[in-house]
Amino acid sequence: MSTRPRTESLSESIKSSIIDAIEGVGDVTDTVVRTTRDSIATALASMEDVGEAVGSTSLEAVTGVIDGAAEVGASISQASKGAVIGVVRATHDAGAETLDAIADASKRVVSRTAEVGGDIGQAAQGAIEGAIQGAREIGVSTERAASAAASGVLEAAGDIGASAIDQVRRITQGAIKHG
């Protein structure tokens, strides 16, 4: 049990859960997938308009994942992959639009990673890998999922700057080829 005080913010709650789990277990991807999916599902359970809320709830979850991974020095690639898989599972379970959620989550993964000073290339690669794996799990086209993730990470890179665009473009091309 964590000795950290819990806040009302979903992202802070997830950050604390991620830190506790990674410090206790060390399996970043699986821990992040479970924590992200479960946290989003729990938050959505109390909401009237799930379709509307799933986007903002997912983005808060991704923020908490990246913040937690950065704080404990966990692999940003694994955390990003797990976050996107968790978002895919949660949005699918909620009956929401999965491809839009993939694009939005992937964008947030890269932008938040830049904000905490992490490697945006690793974040982009993890997001695309997570989109592909998540899509396979729920029966969505992996090509469309990879494309949605690539769109999201490239949009975030565009907001960061030219060198970020070049770095992320190289990563997206390689990740999609190997996905």
pLDDT in tens, 94-131: 888 899 999 999 999 999 999 999 999 999 999 999 99
**Position 3 in a domain:** no
**What average pLDDT does the chain have?**
86
**Position 51 in a domain:** yes
Q: How many domains does the chain have?
A: 1
**Position 4 in a domain:** no
SS3 5: coil
Write out the two tokens for 95: 């009956």
**Position 143 in a domain:** yes
Kindly give, in sequence order, each residue whose CB lies less than 8 Å from that of residue 43, ignoring residues fewer than 6 positions away.
Answer: 10, 53, 57
**Position 5 in a domain:** no
Whole-Å CA distances, 73 to 16, 22, 78: 14, 10, 11
**Position 120 in a domain:** yes
pLDDT in tens, 129-142: 999 999 999 999 99
**Position 1 in a domain:** no
Q: What pLDDT score does 5 carry?
A: 41
Residue range of the domain that includes 113: 10-178
Phi, psi of 166 (to 5 degrees): -60, -45
Which residue's structure tokens are 């308009």? 49
pTM for the whole structure: 0.84
Write out the two tokens for 98: 């999965």
